[in-house]
Amino acid sequence: MLLSGLEQLNNMLHPSFMVQEKDKIPRIETTPPPANLWTKGLAVEDIPLEIHDLTVAYHHKPVLYGIDLAVPPGKLIGIIGPNGAGKSTLIKAIMGLLPTDSGWVKIFGKNNRKNLKRVGYVPQRESVDWDFPVSVMDVVLMGRYGKLGLFKRPGKEDRDIASACLEKVKMMPYADRQIANLSGGQQQRVFLARALAQESDLYFMDEPFAGVDAATESSIIGLLHELRQKGKTILVVHHDLPTARNYFDMLVLLNMRLVDFGPTEEVFTYEKLQKTYGGRLTILSEVAEAVRQNKG
Amino acid sequence: MSEMIPALDWQAIFVAPWTTDFSIYGWIFLMGFLVCAACGLAGNYLILRRMALVGDAISHSVLPGLAIAFLAANAWTNRQASGEGIDLAVEPSGHGISYGFAIFMGALIAGVLTTLMIEIIHTRTRIKQDAAIGITFSTLFAFGVVLISVYADKVDLDADCVLHGEIAFVSIQPFFTIGAYQLAPSPVIRMGCVTFLTLGLMVVFYKELLVSSFDPGLASSMGINATFVHYALMCWLSVIVVSAFEAVGAILVIAMLILPGATASMLTTRFPIVLVLSLLHAAASSVLGLHLAIWLNSSTAGCMVVAGAGIFCVAWVFSPSQGILQNWLKRRRNSKRLTGGEIGTETVGES
Ligand SMILES: Nc1ncnc2c1ncn2[C@@H]1O[C@H](COP(=O)(O)OP(=O)(O)OP(=O)(O)O)[C@@H](O)[C@H]1O
Ligand SMILES: [Mg+2]
């Protein structure tokens, strides 16, 4: 019941639908909390991610407006919002993959482009060519490249780390497979192993659970909790609202602007989600149900 | 029928090139190998990046570059005053280093411009990359044709000649000499440098090239500028294409950008092995093509491409993963197993 409702939600928020709606609906009025609310008292170099007035446009119209955000360390954070809200764009902009129109991004107190070595990245699965002639092991080893200098090849230590990461996502039996011969969920796990091999302090994951079965999803969540225990900060784009409430310590609500950012209990409210999803949430009593559970 | 296929004279076709006529065919083989190897190595990355046609585009659109450089060099040295025409395609190095250099630079700039134009069209508009390639190279090629016909009296540059240089003339090119010692024909030396540099760059920047081809996002998170790598690769591709087809013509260059890599990917799924196999393919198609050309008394470059394509077909038949033979065997085995009542009982997932 819950699932079918969410499927409906997904259908409702299909991009083509969004485009028409967005032009009619007045811009969402948001009053997000002051950016430094959750990072007060921290030294700049301890703040994993700080964004000030970030605006990004692909052609003329911005898809992200004036985002202000400061993320505290050691948290597992969900980024939620409808299709086309700019979630992937936000991550790409932070990763320096897109030119920005205004604002800045700092990673551990330094300009984002200068400090990307401390960042691990799991892109949306469709963003790479899976026919590429490399094995699962090769892909995970790529995660180690950042730690190696120019000219250096991954050594035994790197292989050991890569194997351990594959083991963690239960993909070790597939280490020598060509990546084309994997199922979608297995490909996702390979990406995750690669991110683990990066041994970063800050992670961005774009829909790591897309096409992953329930058992794998919960084992991945276990892994993410483990990472958080080690003090890492993880930002995850996630589409499933009911599970979002259980998985994440904090939530970023995004719809072209930052709607809100805060601890899940405070942010996961009917009113705020409605703001994020532009009013269409009312139809979905299932989500209302989830919100009620959140309060109780 | 017997007149259509020349007799297969073992001595003349297979032995003589490596013995009595080695001073001619040795250079032709070496040149063929150097071109095929450089193109094949660089081509692997084009295939991976789904830009197989960029090489094709570059080789066509250098024409206006050649024409402009030619006009500029002409004006510079003012040879026109003496009424002396210069036949670039037949004797490119016969007019001193400055001419050769100007023309090389012209072609190189045109090559880089091509890749820039393709990139700008396809990132700034909704036009896809393949269409952007089509627009760019046909426009530049046409521009080159217009230039040449307008200045026909000043540019003795035959479009056909530029695109179909002949590798067989390599051994009669002026030799590069060190002191009194005649080392090798200068085109071979030049191509040798390009090929070894290609190999060297690919070994040194193996990681960077691999990761920025596979996942630009990951690459930039490692501080590798994927856009820079892209343009560097395209510039180097222009260098290879331009230096190769001055001597051997466009047919060999365009074909050998793709054939070695495509053949290698039939046989393995490991990228380092793909690189090695594409070198082997380059060597094999040069040898076979050379013999084929002697036998048929035909275009050497053409025969090398035909040989390369032949090797590709053989690889296709015998490929362990996607081969015709392998598929047939697999289907036969499976149908036997099913009729034999063996029904799969395995499942996936951890218990
Ligand atoms: N390469 C691009 N060129 C132009 N516009 C783009 C491009 N990529 C995304 N957009 C637009 O930017 C907006 C935000 O896209 P983005 O991919 O960030 O959304 P998202 O929140 O990740 O959505 P989803 O949930 O579907 O993944 C959308 O309106 C989309 O149409
Ligand atoms: Mg997205």
Nearest beta carbon to residue B220 from set A116, A134, A139: A116
pLDDT mean by block of 10 residues, chain A; 296 residues: 47 43 47 71 86 89 90 94 91 89 91 86 85 92 85 88 92 91 88 91 90 84 91 92 90 91 90 79 59 63
Q: Is the pLDDT score of B2 beyond 80? A: no
pTM recorded for the entire structure:
0.79
Chain A residues in contact with B265 (beta carbon < 8 A): 133
DSSP structure class, residue A71? E
Q: Please state, rounded to an integer, the average pLDDT across all residues of chain B.
A: 81
B90 falls in which pLDDT band (50, 70, 90)? very low
B97 falls in which pLDDT band (50, 70, 90)? low
Distance between B271 CA and the closest CA of chain A, angstroms: 5
Helical segments of chain A, H only:
2-12, 15-24, 87-94, 136-145, 156-168, 184-197, 214-229, 241-247, 264-267, 270-277, 285-295
The two tokens of residue B210 are 């691999």
Q: Indicate yes or no: CB of B217 within 8 angstroms of CB of A153.
A: no
Chain A residues in contact with B214 (beta carbon < 8 A): 128-129, 132, 134, 139, 142
Q: Which of A94, A97, A136 to mutate to test the interface with B (most CBs of B within 10 A)?
A: A97
Domains of chain B in sequence order: 10-339 (1.10.3470.10)
Q: What is the pLDDT of residues B170-205, one digit of tens each?
A: 777 777 777 777 778 888 888 999 999 999 999 999
Q: What is the pLDDT of residue A29?
A: 56
Q: Determine the Cα angle at A178 with ends A174 and A181, to 5°.
A: 80
The residue among B140 and A283 whose pLDDT is bigger is: B140
Q: Which fold has domain A2-31+73-96+115-295?
A: Rossmann fold (3.40.50)
In chain B, which residue's Cα lies nearest the Cα of A123?
Answer: B217
A228: phi then psi, degrees, rounded to nearest 5? -60, -40
Q: What is the pLDDT of residue A11?
A: 47
Q: What is the pLDDT of residues B229-281, one digit of tens each?
A: 988 898 898 888 888 876 677 778 888 999 999 999 899 888 999 999 999 99
Stretch B39-60: mean pLDDT, rounded?
Answer: 88
The two tokens of residue A23 are 């032009």
Stretch B300-304: mean pLDDT, rounded?
Answer: 89
Among B313, B86, B298, B222, smallest CA distance to A97 is for B222
A48: phi then psi, degrees, rounded to nearest 5? -60, -40
Q: Indicate yes or no: CB of A142 within 8 angstroms of CB of B265.
A: no
Q: What is the pLDDT of residues B277-293, one digit of tens each?
A: 999 999 999 999 999 99
Stretch B120-147: mean pLDDT, rounded?
Answer: 88
Q: What is the pLDDT of residue A42?
A: 82
Q: What is the whole-number distance in angstroms between the Cα of residue A14 and the centre of ligand 1?
A: 12
Q: What is the pLDDT of residue B331?
A: 85
In chain B, which residue's Cα lies nearest the Cα of A134?
Answer: B270
Stretch B320-333: mean pLDDT, rounded?
Answer: 84
Parse chain A into domains and list their residue ranges.
2-31+73-96+115-295
Stretch B50-73: mean pLDDT, rounded?
Answer: 82
Which residues have CB under 8 Å from A72's CB, separation 6+? Answer: A38, A39, A42, A47, A48, A233, A250
Q: Indicate yes or no: CB of A142 within 8 angstroms of CB of B204.
A: no
Q: Is B176 on the interface with A (CB under 8 A)?
A: no
State the Rg of chain B over Cα: 23
Among A186, B55, B180, smallest CA distance to A194 is for A186
Distance between A270 CA and the closest CA of chain B, angstroms: 35
Q: What is the pLDDT of residue A166?
A: 94
Q: Are B248 and B167 in contact (CB under 8 A)?
A: yes
Q: Is B349 on the interface with A (CB under 8 A)?
A: yes
Q: What is the pLDDT of residues A80-105, one digit of tens each?
A: 998 889 999 999 999 888 888 899 99
Q: Of the ligands numbered here, which is closest to the C-alpha atom of A60? A: 1
Distance CA B101, CA A249 (A): 64
Nearest beta carbon to residue A134 from set B217, B223, B271: B271
Measuring CA to CA, how many Å separate A65 from each of A30, A171, B165, B341?
Answer: 12, 40, 56, 63
Q: What is the pLDDT of residue A19?
A: 41
Distance between A203 CA and the closest CA of chain B, angstroms: 11
- Atom of ligand 1 at shortest range from CA of A22: 29
Q: How far is CA B182 from the centre of its chain?
A: 28
